[in-house]
Amino acid sequence: MIVVENWGLIEYRAAWERQREYVRHIQQGVRQSTLVLCEHPAVITVGRAGTFRHVLCSPEELAQRGIDLVETDRGGDVTLHNPGQLVGYPIFDLMQFRADLHWFVRTIEQCIIDALKHWGIVAGQVPGLTGVWVEGQRKICAIGIRCSRWVTSHGFALNVANDLQQFDCIIPCGIPDREVTSMERELGTAVAVSEVASVVADVFKVVFGRGHLQKP
């Protein structure tokens, strides 16, 4: 069984610290595997495989646009979070599921693909690239995880109705020749993050075991 928590709109560093706390508790056996869903104020994060060369805006311009910049310990390169994007942190003990990081990332991708079907969005995986893509060209969901003693943290960022213009400040995931898209852009109509969160949570519960929604 997994637990699902919705942290609402939360500053990135605060969410990162809470994740570390949850990881410790799961490793100690005092907390169940937990899927956290939330949104972040505008922030660019640089992962362990990333480089600040993929951040295209100067610190002064980022400050003017209200975009924070954080070097983090997840896998992957550079990405951006902002309101209207559903961020998911599956903080899971993989020993309870399958001790295989490749399987875990592919399974997260499939969960997002299945959730998008609810809106008629056809998305898929691209061999050699992480994330979820529309027509193999437009990234709608980025993924970057960390694993410590088989307990995972960080996770996915699904673009629902966020400001895609802010992605002009980065080379998303270090891939210069592919677009970033959102559910709203693909559908041409407004989409509520809360509705997407509910569907995504239901898919994760089915795939990783029945859970129940809790508020922290």
Q: Are 15 and 7 contacting, i.e. CB atoms less than 8 angstroms apart?
A: yes
Give the DSSP H or E segment for 137: none
**C-alpha distance from residue 78 to each of 15, 72, 125, 128, 163 (Å):** 18, 10, 19, 17, 17
Q: Are 113 and 122 contacting, i.e. CB atoms less than 8 angstroms apart?
A: no
Whether 57 sits among the annotated catalytic residues: the reply is: no
Buried-exposed string 47-79: b where 16+ CB fall within 10 A, e elsewhere: beebeeebbebeeeebeeeebbbeebebbbbbb
- Whose tokens are 């995931």? That residue is 173
Q: Distance between CA atoms of 47 and 171, rounded to whole angstroms?
A: 13
Give the DSSP H or E segment for 56: none
Q: Any residues with CB less than 8 A from the CB of 128 and at least 6 apart, and which?
A: none
The residues annotated with a catalytic role in the active site are 173
